[in-house]
A and B are shown apart, each in its own frame.
Chain A
C-alpha cells in the first residue's frame, strides 16, 4: 500500500471519521452539522528519534512519509531495536457497524429524536434547556513497515439533555445523557424523564449546605468510574515511569496497595466509548487487571514503555485523532463487582454522603470529585439533598479506605466530554463500576 524504506521503522494510521452534532437551545435549532474528515498520521523512527507528520490530504501520505525519511537517519539494525521488536504484525479486518452505521441515518431523524424528547422534559423551575445529539463512525486503518495491515470501525451515538434549574437565584445545571452503539436505543421512557426532572426539582428547592469535614461517602457507579479512572487509571499509565528507575522499583507488580475487596480492570474489548480492538500502534486489545484484590497486578503500555520496563504490550497506545501521536491512555476502566447491595453499604453509616452524579473529577496526589447532585446519609438512609463543591482524598490512602463494594456494576459510555492528558483532549473512554463505600473523604 505504502512504500516503506529499509533501515527505518514507519507506520501510517488513517481515520475516516463521520460525525454529527446537533444542538437545540430552548427548543430552537442552533447547530446541525455533519462532518466528514479523513486524516492520516505518519511516524518514522530511526532508533534515536521519532518524526511525525499529520495530513488531511490523503493523496499526499506517501509524500509526507518520504519527507519524514528525510529527517531521519538510516539504521540497518532498526528491526532489532527493543521498541520496534515489540510491535505486533497483525493483519485483521473488523467491521461491526455496517448494518447500523449512523452515516445512513437521515439527519432529520436525529433532529426529531432530541426535539421530541426534550419537549417531554418540562419543569416550572427550568430556566434554560439544551438538547444535543452527537454521533461518530470512524474507520481506522493501520499499516506498518513490519507488515501490519489492520482495518476496524468504531461507532457511538448519544443524546444529552442539559437543563438549568433556578430557585431563589441559585442554579443547578444537570444533564441526562445516554451513549449507545445503535441509534435505535437512544430513547427514554416517561418514567426515566420524570424521575430526572423530579430529582432536579427536589434538589434545587431543598439542597442544604453541609458542614465541611471528613465523612464516609458512597459513590454511585458514575462516580465510582471516575474514581477508578482518575485515582488509579492514570497512575497505571507507564509513561510516567520512564527514566525513573526508583519508580519502577516502588511500583513492583505484586505490591499490596489497596483494600482486599478492590479490583480494577482495564480493557478495550467492550463495545462503547472505550472500544479499542487495536491501539494506534497496531497492538491487539488485552484484558489487564490493574489491581486484583488490593494487589498491584498490571499497568498500561505503549511499545516504548513496555520495552523500557521489560513488560508485555497491553494495547493502550492511543491518540485522540490523526493530529497527534499515540501515547499511553486508558480504554475502559472499571471497578469489579463485590458482594454488597446498596442497602448493605448504607446501613452502617450514621452520618455521611451519597454522591449521585458528578460534574468532573481529577487525580494527582489528591483525588477530587465535584458532585452535581448529592445527598446526606443519616442513620443508614439516604436523606436530604446537599450542596457539595468538592470531595477530596489522598489517592493512596483512599485505595485502602474502600470498605464496601456493591454488586451492581455498570459500564458507562459517553458522547460528551472525555479524558484529557496534557495536550490531548478529549479521548473517548469508558468507565464504571458498582456502588462503593469509602470510610472517609474530605467533604467541602
Chain B
C-alpha cells in the first residue's frame, strides 16, 4: 500500500475595482488537505477543508478503496526538495494605497476610459509527501492585474482588457502599457485590404486543440492527432513544453498533483515539430505504455486527472522585431472561436491593432481569423517571443500567418 499526503494553502488579497476606484477588499484564506491511498490496483481519496486529522483521513481514504476505482500503485525515487520563491511585493499595509494611486493615475492619463475588475496578491504553499519518503514543498506568490477597460459611452460591457502577472510591481511600466493600449484604441483605422496577413496573438489556436493531446483520447482513436505520436506534425521550430521551473513560472509548484518532478522541471509535448509526449497521469501513462508528462492535476478530494498546468511554448526569438518586418496585426481581444472536426479554426477578433516597429498604430475594424490547425502550427507558424510590446508582466507573443474573413 502506498499513501500520499498533500496540503495546499492559498491566500489571496483581492481588490475589486469599480469605475476606476477601489471598491472593496476581499481576503481569502483556504486550506485543502488530501490523502490518497493505493492498494491492489485501486485508489481511495479523502479530502478535507481547514485543519484536518490525517490519520482519520487515511482511514476514510482506505474505506474508499472498496469503490474499486482502478489506479496503479507506483514507486519512484523519493525526492526531497523544498523551494521558496516568495518575494516581497508590497508591505503589509501598502496594497490598497499603492493600488489607489495606480488607479488614480490610470484614470487621469486615460480620461476617456473606465477601469474595473480585479487586482490580486496571491500566495501558495503546497506540500506533497508519500510513504516512499518523497517530501516536496513549494512556496510562491504573485501580483495579478486584471483590468477590464471600457471606453466611456461605448455600448459594450467592456472594450479592452489589460491583464498581466509577475512577482513584482512597477507602476510606471503598467501605466505606460495601458496608455499605449488606450491611445491606440482611440485611433480608428480603416479595414486592411489584405486577406492573408501575419498576426501576433496568444496561444488560442493551440488551446482549441489541447484536448486532442490527452492520452485517453489519443489511444482511443478520438484525437485529431491519431497515429501521429513520434511524427513531425508541426513546424520544426515549434516546441511545446510543460515547464514548472521555479525560475520561469510564478506561483506554480515545481511538481504536479502526483508529486512528479520533471528533469530540470521541463518535459516536451512537441519537440522540433515532433509530437513527443501526450498529456497523461501516472495511470494513463502505464495503461497506454507511454511516457508520463508530469502535468497531472487534482481537486482536493478527487482522483488525479490529465492537466495542463505549466504548458508553455518555447521562445524562438528574443523579440517581435526579430520575427516581423513591416506592418502586422496585433490581436488584442478575441472571443468565442472554435475548431471543426477537420481542424479548421475560426476566431472572431473583437479588438485588434495595426502593429509596426514595436508600436500599436491604431485600432482596426472587427474581422475573423481563420486557418487550419496544422497550417497555423505548421507552415504558417513564424515564431514565439517574450518581448517587443508591453513592458510589464510575463507574456509571450505567438506569431503566425492567417486568413482574414468577415471584415467589418
Bound Cα distance A367, B406 (Å): 13
Interfacial chain B residues near A239, Cβ < 8 Å = 18
The stretch of B76-84, B258-266, B337-345 that contacts the partner chain: B337-345
Q: Is B243 an interface residue (CB 8 A)?
A: no
The stretch of A30-38, A261-269, A329-337 that contacts the partner chain: A30-38
Q: Is A53 an interface residue (CB 8 A)?
A: yes
Bound Cα distance A15, B344 (Å): 44
Question: Which B-chain residue is minimally distant from A210 (CB atoms)?
Answer: B340
Question: Which A-chain residue is minimally distant from B20 (CB atoms)?
Answer: A243
Interface residues in A155-212 (C-beta closer than 8 Å to B) = 164, 166, 169-173, 204, 207, 209, 212
The stretch of B65-73, B179-187, B382-390 that contacts the partner chain: B65-73
Chain B interfacial residues counted at CB < 8 A: 70
Bound Cα distance A240, B26 (Å): 20
Question: Which A-chain residue is minimally distant from B350 (CB atoms)?
Answer: A364
B69 touches A364 (CB 8 A): no
Q: Which of B116, B220, B342, B346 touches A390 (beta carbons < 8 Å)?
A: B346
The stretch of A96-104, A246-254, A285-293, A310-318 that contacts the partner chain: A246-254
A244 touches B152 (CB 8 A): yes
Q: Is A26 an interface residue (CB 8 A)?
A: yes
The stretch of B127-135, B155-163, B164-172, B353-361 that contacts the partner chain: B155-163
Interface residues in A406-444 (C-beta closer than 8 Å to B) = 422-423, 442, 444
Bound Cα distance A373, B405 (Å): 23
Q: Which of B117, B301, B305, B344 touches A35 (beta carbons < 8 Å)?
A: B301
B344 touches A389 (CB 8 A): yes
A52 touches B405 (CB 8 A): no
A387 touches B335 (CB 8 A): no
- Please give the distance in Å from A20's CB to the nearest CB on chain B: 12
Q: Is B302 an interface residue (CB 8 A)?
A: yes
Q: Which of A21, A31, A324, A387 touches B341 (beta carbons < 8 Å)?
A: A387
A389 touches B158 (CB 8 A): no
Interfacial chain A residues near B67, Cβ < 8 Å = 29, 32
Interface residues in A3-46 (C-beta closer than 8 Å to B) = 21, 25-26, 28-33, 35, 37, 39
B26 touches A52 (CB 8 A): yes
A164 touches B217 (CB 8 A): yes
A389 touches B346 (CB 8 A): yes
Question: Which A-chain residue is minimally distant from B24 (CB atoms)?
Answer: A50
Interfacial chain A residues near B339, Cβ < 8 Å = 389
Question: Which B-chain residue is minimally distant from A111 (CB atoms)?
Answer: B67
Classify chain A's interface size: 35 or more
Q: Which of A53, A172, A207 touches B26 (beta carbons < 8 Å)?
A: A53
Interface residues in B358-389 (C-beta closer than 8 Å to A) = 366, 368, 370
A56 touches B30 (CB 8 A): yes
The stretch of B190-198, B222-230, B310-318, B392-400 that contacts the partner chain: B222-230
Q: Which of A28, A52, A368 touches B337 (beta carbons < 8 Å)?
A: A368
A364 touches B156 (CB 8 A): yes
B50 touches A240 (CB 8 A): no
Q: Is B150 an interface residue (CB 8 A)?
A: yes
A53 touches B146 (CB 8 A): no
Q: Is the interface of A mostly helix, strand, loop or mixed?
A: strand
The stretch of A85-93, A140-148, A354-362 that contacts the partner chain: A354-362
Q: Is A124 an interface residue (CB 8 A)?
A: no
Question: Which A-chain residue is minimally distant from B220 (CB atoms)?
Answer: A128
Interface residues in B22-59 (C-beta closer than 8 Å to A) = 22-31, 45, 47, 49-50
Q: Is B125 an interface residue (CB 8 A)?
A: no
Given the contacts A53-B27, A171-B223, A247 and B155 also touching, CB distance less than 8 Å: yes
Interfacial chain A residues near B156, Cβ < 8 Å = 364-365
Bound Cα distance A35, B46 (Å): 10
B303 touches A30 (CB 8 A): yes
- Please give the distance in Å from A248's CB to the nearest CB on chain B: 11
A387 touches B24 (CB 8 A): no
A207 touches B341 (CB 8 A): yes
The proximity string for B residues 1-35 relative to A, scoring 1 for CB distances below 8 Å and 0 otherwise, is 00000000000000010111011111111110000
Q: Is B336 an interface residue (CB 8 A)?
A: yes
Interface residues of A (CB under 8 A from B): 21, 25-26, 28-33, 35, 37, 39, 49-57, 71, 127-128, 164, 166, 169-173, 204, 207, 209, 212, 234-235, 237, 239-240, 242-244, 246-247, 250-251, 323-325, 359-370, 387-390, 392, 394, 396, 422-423, 442, 444
Selected A-B contacts with CB under 8 Å, 30 pairs: A25-B216, A32-B67, A50-B24, A54-B28, A56-B30, A56-B31, A56-B49, A127-B222, A166-B221, A166-B222, A171-B341, A172-B341, A239-B18, A243-B19, A243-B114, A244-B150, A250-B155, A325-B24, A364-B157, A364-B158, A365-B159, A366-B366, A368-B348, A389-B337, A389-B344, A390-B337, A392-B348, A394-B408, A396-B155, A423-B146
In the complex, the 10 A-B pairs of residues with the closest C-beta atoms, listed nearest first:
A243-B19, A368-B336, A362-B336, A50-B24, A370-B338, A389-B346, A246-B153, A164-B222, A52-B26, A128-B222
